[in-house]
Structure 1
Amino acid sequence: MSMTTLRNLGHHRFRTSGRPLRATAVAAVVALALAACGTGGADEPGESSSAGADASLRIVMANPPKEGTLDTCNGDNNQLLQENITEPLVRVNGETGELEPLLAEEWTEESPTRWVFTLREGVTFHDGQPFDAEAAAWWLNRVLDPAADCYVLDSVLTSDISSVSAVDEKTLAIELGSPDPILPRRLAFTPIGAPTDDPLVEVTDPVGTGPYQFVSFTPDQSFSMERYADYWGEAPDVGEVEYIFRSESAVRAAMASTGEVDLATSITAQDADAPNAQTYTVSETLYARLDSEVPPFDDARVRKAVNLAIDRQTFVDNVFGGKGEPASEIFLPNVVGYDPDVTWEYDPEEAKRLIAEAQADGVDVSREIEVIGRTGLRNSNGSETMDTLAAMLGAVGLKARTVVMEFEQYRERFEAPQDPAALPTMIVNVHGNSLGDAHLSLDGKLGCNAPQSPACDETFQQMLDDAGAASGDEREGLLQDAARYAHDEMTFLVPVAYTTDTLITANECVQYTPNPATLQKLVVAEIKLQC
């Protein structure tokens, strides 16, 4: 169907050019040329409705990709890349949580330590390479190589995978050192890119199999992609997408209100009173990590006192504007392994007693604690999240101050080795568990091999290993035991609040309903154009 009319959409704006998007901000109003609004979508793979053939979308987000790389090895890039440019073997339905085929059409547990995946026919990478079992094995082996420094290794994927190999062109076999009943679910968070010349060199021009292909990236400013014409599945409505990165929620909300963007993500409660704002539950928990080796946090009583000092309901009411729930663990109640009896009550008097007891035993509780956050931290409203937590520590007699870092500096601090001579830190972060299994959270944040773990507790690790090999009710019970041990004996994590998020749709033509997985992967193909 050809374009025959030009309809001015007022301050709402699409672009109709088929050229690659520019990296600079566009303030002008752009009209969308559409004929016969409301006609049906594509019926054949690779075909799209005429409405989306040349239409483009602008989205503003809080955090840019890691500077210098667009590698899917870096988990922070998944909201941009996963199921847009790159795709995993299977996907988790954002609404139901069920596993669905994607690059793999079916999978079988041939034995407790061997899984076999049958791959989809007729799939190519954006650079023309065929997607087959050899390519899938190459990428997964790259992820499993510690030298490649892929985030998912030991945080999502277990290092106990002993081999990944091609049985034939469309059959992939994965061998394990020990049983992992949820391996397919883990692979849903391991998007696959095209093989490269050197697996140890970070990818700067991502190539995948998804409905969109990479166009351009300006660090800290913008990222753009366009529809891949030879996509194996149904083509998306939107032809081109440009992401703009702005760390302040108020700025993102203002860009939506003026029509500078079509979608604005990660809007805080303070900025969420806007037309077409959708607040939704997400699979994320705001939490803080305490040092294990730096006084006074090397004393378990002080770590417990910090947890008891946090008035979580007041925090949700005042900082999140009542949008959210107090958190008892770093994963939500719908996750396998959640135990309602593992909880923290607000008890400032007990917190003071524990601090005084530790001080009487020679623990230096006078050291100033740095409550560290970062710009763009979801729902933080600037430094308010960190300021509130610091004030709650002060109320029980601890000294604390707020430190807000830029994203890269924060990342380096979060991953740096602990220095007992440095000031003690309480690093504020968010953790998502769309996997639906507590093993991801417990092993990823506290496991002996996890990059973000503040300590290695061998008893806890054995509990995780036992739970990881189990399934069904046995698995759930073992994970609950591990969660109780982390709560009672380790106390390195401070769960604060289960979060919500708000997305503003600034264009009446855009139809999109966010789901709990939206924060971790904004799948543009799920966005529909209605005019």
Structure 2
Amino acid sequence: MQIAFQRSPRRRVAGALAASAAAILAVSGCSVANTTQSESASPNTLRIVLPQEPPTLEPCDASLTATGVVVRSNITEPLIERDPNTGALQPKLASSWRQVEPNVWQFTTASGVKFSNGATFDAHDAAFSIQRTFNGAIGCDVNGYVFDDSTIDVQALDDHTVQMRTEQPDPILPLRVSFIEMVPRTTDPDNKVREPIGTGPYMVDFWDSGQRIALKANPNYHGTAPAYTRAIYQWRTEGSVRAAMVANDEADIATSLGPEDGAGDLGIAYVNNETTALRMQATDAPLDDIRVREAIDYSINRAGIVKALFQGLGRPAAELVGKGIVGYNDQLTPTPYDLDKARKLVDEARADGVPVDTTIRLIGRTGQFPKINETIEAIQYSLSKIGLNVKIEMMDTSGQMQYQVRPFVAGSGPVLLMVQHGNQAGDSQFTLDQYMLSDGYQSTYGTAAYDREIQAAEAMTGDARQAALATVLADEPVKIRQYAYIAHMEAVLAKSNKVSYQPNSATGDEMRLSEMTHATSRND
């Protein structure tokens, strides 16, 4: 069966054919890709083109999308993994786990597992990997993202048992542990590594900085050998170029495409669990006035952005988590687009002495999602219409992350930051703790009262937990309004007909090469 773009006809990917884009590039005399002829010709090499170079391959930063898409479940693996389709936790490098006391969990490590360097994996490596994640000297992203810099006692009781003791009972600790990638205890405990050692189906072959990353099959892999023995990652900023590389047989997979990038019948649309939002730094004037933040919220034309820029691939958002996440509140509606109301709020703040003419920095990350530049420009235009002075600053990943995660850039002034959050864990606690607590890893503002509301909800279980978390999400725009939610996103991936692969909601953060196989026919 011919692989078509998997949407209804009225929402198919639009734009020029990828072949046209390839022809344009050919006129310039340049090759789209930078792969060698031998790699291009090899049927056992996967060629993947990303929108940006990973900032690091450090496993404890695998919760970063640009890092996790290469590292997670390819080079390294966790003790437990979450099924993106069902949300169920499944054994990986842990064969079982149990709560032995309210504050204590024990994990039994799997037998017969080796790292790519030949060393045997056991509970001591698992304990080391978890402890290393908490090492403040490294500044692991997963620590703030998943564990909120909390204190946890970790020890290997024997070669096959790891015990974790928390300060307070933690009903979702196994879910948190699923974010920690296992590394050998010989790994540098105090510094991030460039080429990690793991237990995954692949290992790093080489990283040609600025050009490409090559992985090769791990000869010591404990599972079924992957269909492809090598994988080559390259990166191109322009989505149309990435799509053309697949159409021109210079790549097999191209990620993060927009509907206008020309993927045609090679494109597959899928829900990726990402939500875009504008984070408002409420500690600096004029953003410290809730009326100004409310005005910014009213000035965003969510429906227009989704329709015109995303071509229908997504839906306007009223909260930072999407459907299927515990706590998702289906009763919330997106803030309406109302420039008149926004102008009145700004005028009221100005009349009360709020310095609304202060320059506000609107920061976006290049390649963060398709049409990011146009989205940023549309928001700036609307904000200028309501009387705010906004300056756009586009940054690469490393630059933008200085404003997104703690410790934030000191004295940065009033900042509006475009963020994109994908809660792959399936519980709103992972969103609330990092994005909404006063001292959250990616939060710049909050109140003691709202913190207590969050923490009380997170202590609950079952239906009570769902209801309490939903209330917390509903209260954020009313009590805090740190965010102007924009859209729940959908993604487009281009795939060669030679490869059989079905993306899922986790693909944007964790693209498992072992799930890619040779297509049985050109129309597979």
TM-score, length of structure 2 as denominator length: 0.88
Q: Give the superposition deviation at 1:485.
A: 3.0
Aligned residues: 484
Secondary structure in 2 matching 1:315: helix
**Corresponding position of 1:388:** 378
Q: Give the superposition deviation at 1:273.
A: 4.2
**Corresponding position of 1:83:** 73
**Corresponding position of 1:11:** none
Unaligned 5+ runs, structure 2 = 1-32
Alignment check: 8 A CA contact 1:72 1:193 kept: no
Matched, 1:349 2:359: no
Correspondence for 1:528 among 511, 514, 517? 517
Alignment check: 8 A CA contact 2:499 2:516 kept: yes
Structure 1 residues 156 and 485: CA distance shift in structure 2, 3 A: same
Q: Give the superposition deviation at 1:413.
A: 3.6
Distance 1:197 1:524 in 2: 24
Alignment check: 8 A CA contact 2:63 2:179 kept: no
Distance 1:515 1:461 in 2: 33
**Corresponding position of 1:57:** 46
Higher helix share: 2
Matched, 1:222 2:200: no
**Corresponding position of 2:265:** 275
Q: Give the superposition deviation at 1:529.
A: 0.9
Secondary structure in 2 matching 1:153: helix
Q: Give the superposition deviation at 1:456.
A: 4.4
Secondary structure in 1 matching 2:445: coil
Secondary structure in 2 matching 1:447: coil
**Corresponding position of 1:14:** none
Structure 1 residues 123 and 386: CA distance shift in structure 2, 3 A: same
Alignment check: 8 A CA contact 2:59 2:181 kept: no
The letter for the 2-side match of 1:78 is G
What percent identity do the matched residue pairs reach?
31
**Corresponding position of 2:107:** 117
**Corresponding position of 2:501:** 512
Distance 1:315 1:66 in 2: 29
Alignment check: 8 A CA contact 2:115 2:220 kept: no
CA-to-aligned-CA distance 1:220-252 (integer Å, 9 cap, x gap): 321111111221111111110010011221221
Distance 1:88 1:209 in 2: 9
The letter for the 2-side match of 1:375 is T
Q: Give the superposition deviation at 1:141.
A: 0.7
CA-to-aligned-CA distance 1:322-366 (integer Å, 9 cap, x gap): 111001111103211122344422232222221111111100111
Correspondence for 2:58 among 65, 70, 77? 70
- Cα RMSD after superposing both structures: 2.0
Matched, 1:484 2:474: yes
Alignment check: 8 A CA contact 1:352 1:396 kept: yes
Structure 1 residues 27 and 356: CA distance shift in structure 2, 3 A: farther
Correspondence for 1:464 among 454, 466, 474? 454
**Corresponding position of 2:94:** 104
Unaligned 5+ runs, structure 1 = 1-22, 34-54
The letter for the 2-side match of 1:366 is D
TM-score, length of structure 1 as denominator length: 0.87
Alignment check: 8 A CA contact 2:40 2:250 kept: no
CA-to-aligned-CA distance 1:53-112 (integer Å, 9 cap, x gap): xx1111001121215x53433532111111001001111112222211111111112222
The letter for the 2-side match of 1:70 is E
Structure 1 residues 377 and 197: CA distance shift in structure 2, 3 A: closer
Q: Give the superposition deviation at 1:272.
A: 4.4
**Corresponding position of 1:166:** 156
Distance 2:59 2:74 in 1: 14
**Corresponding position of 1:183:** 173
Larger deviation, residues 346-355 vs 278-287: 346-355
Secondary structure in 1 matching 2:408: coil
Alignment check: 8 A CA contact 2:60 2:142 kept: no
Distance 1:306 1:240 in 2: 47
Distance 1:299 1:445 in 2: 19
Distance 1:426 1:245 in 2: 27
Q: Give the superposition deviation at 1:367.
A: 2.1
CA-to-aligned-CA distance 1:187-243 (integer Å, 9 cap, x gap): 222211222353111111200111111111122321111111221111111110010
Distance 1:323 1:162 in 2: 41
Distance 2:148 2:40 in 1: 48
Secondary structure in 1 matching 2:470: helix
Structure 1 residues 419 and 173: CA distance shift in structure 2, 3 A: closer
Correspondence for 2:440 among 438, 450, 465? 450
Alignment check: 8 A CA contact 1:113 1:180 kept: yes
Q: Give the superposition deviation at 1:435.
A: 0.8
Q: Give the superposition deviation at 1:28.
A: 7.2
Q: Give the superposition deviation at 1:397.
A: 2.5
Larger deviation, residues 232-241 vs 179-188: 179-188
**Corresponding position of 2:363:** 372
CA-to-aligned-CA distance 1:299-338 (integer Å, 9 cap, x gap): 1111111111112111100110111100111110321112
Alignment check: 8 A CA contact 2:269 2:490 kept: yes
Larger deviation, residues 344-353 vs 231-240: 344-353
Secondary structure in 2 matching 1:105: strand
Alignment check: 8 A CA contact 2:148 2:434 kept: no
Larger deviation, residues 75-84 vs 333-342: 333-342
Larger deviation, residues 454-463 vs 431-440: 454-463
